Structure 1
């Protein structure tokens, strides 16, 4: 009888995981999703959590690239980039985003800077470049694009993290980033130089993890909010990428078993999708996170409907 019960429980558990897509990557812990579409294929750029179960801080040695044509089955290309790629860098592989321009792929990453003649250390943003989304990648500049000394509105050393980049309809590229305050700057067409001064904005409840994009004639700025612990995702909209930004509210509540969350938005095959991470895998947690996807919906006026977090995700039902 006991054996039969165990078999029944095992079958139920197996059926659950067979029907549950979320989290989408189960063989390693992944965080900070950044999806793009290139030639009808989705490429997903992620962080990689390797902290122990009992750890009280992050251990993120590298960034991975995955691809899919159905958002259900994913190919892992392994560790495509790490802070070791950058001679000036040290520390962990924090949130990053890759974008294509003129046949090249620019991967904007956040890590930490060694103490040297240019910087006293602290968080910094670098850029890697490749001819293909899966690499190989190399340091595009040979130095950090943003160092801690360039932003002085906040005094903590980890404020220059979490870059998000978009290219507007007129070809002008913009980068947003920041922990504690949100900064943006224009980028030159070569994608490796800033074009003008850094501007600081103050979206309501902003803390970190921005994601900026345009849909129809409306610009969206999503971010992790500091109103509560754990984090939620809130957002603003604007008629111009430079603002003014109108606060629109919370779209994602706390996620299971993780005090952080991080947004990524993708339109693919006629639908919109919201990428995020949680700690729901076995032995997962705030330092052992996993990426999930759920469908995203808009109201008639362009505002975003609240994200419904599911275990099934976008798997075929």
Structure 2
């Protein structure tokens, strides 16, 4: 997601997106993977032989920047055909929140599904906050697990702005400990208590180079990855995806550079990484989708997916964003 109000001409970039002719029907599984709604901030979760994808629902009209009131979930068994399970929660389900169904992630632990999401808190704790909900099934129904925010802006007082507490990523390490990382401009990490609804110990800042937002944690063969939306303001005007690696979740983190370029027509981008049926995938979003008379824009994005490959030393191979996506030949 994005909180900074500095868009200028970017809102117009999606106007060049065009609806494909009827005879050019997209191949199932090609990008964007969801075409009947505008979606953003993809967060994959594998449960058995099915991959679930949690997304925010972009509902911006005309020149609106963001209008996000609910979170949706889709699932697939083949990475080609997606089942729409509808809305799993609305911002209004968190009684203490007033707006903005921003980026989220769901994780399974202790026999339940835990959903972490960024919202705008009401006047009792001004600024962005992170909520946590729980369900017995990956498709919900989810309910507020605390009745209050897990993380508020007042818990990160050294930050530079009120929307820094967004975009949670949750990760359970091999020892069973679950961690949460989040942030905009500053990247924070903290341990969660076994009950999954309380912070356990200090909040630590681990901000990597050019960090903007959208962190994602994962591990592969003993190497830990912090992948995120980056913005080198001296060189670029749109976010890209960069990453760092570490020998443990506690670091030290080594910057590895950019993984992708910017999303087509989109100022924002948001990575989600998962292994599914022996292959690795990188989920993103761009603003290349048009639905009816609404073109893609900052507030109307579309989720995409690409295959992800690793080098022998564990670094990730650069990813080129394509229309074919996973339908392209390996």
Cα distance in 2 between the residues matched to 1:315 and 1:52: 31
Where 2:118 maps in the other structure, the secondary structure is strand
Distance 1:145 1:179 in 2: 17
CA offsets, 1:112-145, max 9 Å, x none?
A: 11112xx2x1000010000000000100011100
Give the whole-Å Cα distance in 1 for the aligned partners of 2:20 and 2:296: 22
Count of aligned residue pairs for this structure pair: 304
Question: Is 1:270 the equivalent of 2:278?
Answer: yes
Q: 1:111 aligns with which of 106, 113, 119?
A: 119
Which stretches of structure 1, 4 residues or longer, exceed 3 Å deviation after superposition?
10-13
Contact 2:96/2:121 (CA < 8 Å) preserved in 1? yes
Task: Report matched runs for 1:85-104 at 5 Å.
Answer: 85-104=93-112
Task: Say which of 280, 284, 287 aligns to 2:296.
Answer: 284
CA RMSD of superposed structures (Å): 1.5
Match of 1:46 in 2: 55
Report deviation, 1:54. 2.3
Match of 1:6 in 2: none
Given that 2:29 and 2:81 are in contact with CA atoms closer than 8 Å, whether structure 1 keeps it comes out as no
Does residue 252 in structure 1 map to residue 260 in structure 2?
A: yes
1:249 to 1:257, Cα distance in 2 relative to 1, 3 A: same
Tell me the distance in 1 between the aligned counterparts of 2:297 and 2:179: 33
Query: Which SS does the other structure have where 2:188 is aligned?
Result: strand
Kindly indicate whether the alpha-carbon contact (under 8 Å) linking 2:29 and 2:80 is maintained by their aligned counterparts in 1.
no
Q: Measure, in 2, the Cα distance between the counterparts of 1:20 and 1:99.
A: 24
Q: Which residue of 2 aligns with 1:4?
A: none
Alignment match of 2:326 (pick from 304, 311, 314): 314
Is 1:194 aligned to residue 199 of structure 2? yes
Query: 1:14, 1:47 → 2: CA distance?
Result: 30
Query: Take 1:20 and 1:74, find their aligned partners in 2: how far apart are those partners?
Result: 8
Structure with greater contact order relative to length (CA < 8 Å, sep ≥ 6):
2
**Counterpart mapping for 1:28-177 below 5 A:** 28-55=37-64, 57-116=65-124, 119=125, 121-177=126-182
Question: SS of 2:157's equivalent?
Answer: coil
Residue 19 of structure 1 deviates from its aligned partner by 6.5
Q: CA offsets, 1:224-251, max 9 Å, x none?
A: 1121221000000000101110000001
Counterpart position of 1:296:
308
SS at match of 2:128: strand
Structure 1 position 215, deviation (Å): 0.5
1:153 is displaced (CA, Å) by 1.2
1:17 is the counterpart of 2:22: no
Q: Secondary structure at the match of 1:21?
A: coil
Equivalent residues of 2:168, 2:180 under 8 A apart = yes
SS at match of 1:60: coil
Q: Distance in 2 between matches of 1:88 and 1:20?
A: 38
Q: Distance in 2 between matches of 1:245 and 1:16?
A: 44
User: For residues 71 and 181 of structure 1, what CA distance do their matches in structure 2 show?
Assistant: 33
CA distance in structure 2 between the aligned counterparts of 1:286 and 1:181, rounded to whole angstroms: 22
3-state SS, counterpart of residue 299 of structure 1: coil
TM-score (norm 1): 0.93
- Three-state SS of the structure 1 residue aligned to 2:164 is coil
